[in-house]
Amino acid sequence: MGAGWFWDAGNGLGFAAFAGLLYLTITSSRRLDIRAHQVLGYAVLFLALFHAFWFLLGDTVAVEFIKPGAPDYMWLGIIGLLLLGVLITVALVPDRMRVHKDYPAFKYWHRVFAIVTIACITYHIVVSGFYLATWHQAALFVTVAVVVSFGRMYWIKLGKLPTVTVPAYIALSALLTAMFAAVRNLPL
């Protein structure tokens, strides 16, 4: 059923990073603790990088996915990772002041970059076909990404949502990644 412990664990890390990005998008709909949002963004970037380098360092075949001619879904994953890095870097005050003339412009473009990043990563996950094998699984996954990306007016009605701490996010990600790999690889 599974792709093996190594591949399923690595992809579990990718799913955890994507879930963190969606969570950051939902929790940013109201006034928020900017520092907590920023620190959690770093944790999401760390997990996304860990996901990518997990494969590159652990399986020599994975390098084929970053060569010219690699499938488009892999390139969209790489683009999504780079956009996530830009999203975080440009949000830092010195860089933010150079790029955006005022805070409302920053918020607008930060949101646009977040949505484009979510779109790239959604494409990466869905089109790869590794874990969403049927059309209705893919449709549900895309629906979740679209609702999170464009449901801002509904998230505002939820009030201020707490930002999860980095240790809690990392611990939950590790636990769910282990469970994901176990469910896919243990004989049941």
pLDDT tens digits along 88-102:
988 887 777 788 888
Return the exposure string of 109-128: e unless at least 16 CB atoms fall within 10 Å of the residue's CB, then b: bbbebbbebbbbbbbbbbbb
Q: Is the pLDDT of residue 3 over 70?
A: no
Query: What span, in angstroms and rounded, lies between the C-alpha atoms of 41 and 84?
Result: 9
Quick: pLDDT tens for 28-71.
766 677 888 889 999 999 999 999 999 989 888 888 888 899 99
Mean pLDDT check: name the lowest of 61-65, 153-157, 164-168, 174-178.
Answer: 153-157
Helices and strands: H and E segment counts in the chain: 8, 0
The pLDDT assigned to 58 comes to 87
| Residues in Cβ contact with 140 at an 8 Å cutoff, skipping those fewer than 6 apart | none
The pLDDT assigned to 166 comes to 95
Query: What span, in angstroms and rounded, lies between the C-alpha atoms of 36 and 47?
Result: 17
Quick: pLDDT tens for 59-111.
888 888 888 999 999 999 999 999 999 999 888 877 777 888 888 888 899 99
Query: What span, in angstroms and rounded, lies between the C-alpha atoms of 60 and 21?
Result: 28
| Residues in Cβ contact with 24 at an 8 Å cutoff, skipping those fewer than 6 apart | 37, 40, 41, 44, 114
Q: Is the pLDDT of residue 1 over 60?
A: no
Would you say 58 and 10 are in contact if contact means Cβ atoms under 8 Å apart? yes
Mean pLDDT check: name the lowest of 81-85, 96-100, 148-152, 171-175.
Answer: 96-100
Mean per-residue pLDDT of the chain: 89
| Residues in Cβ contact with 179 at an 8 Å cutoff, skipping those fewer than 6 apart | none
| Residues in Cβ contact with 159 at an 8 Å cutoff, skipping those fewer than 6 apart | 30
Residue 46 tokens read as: 């760390």
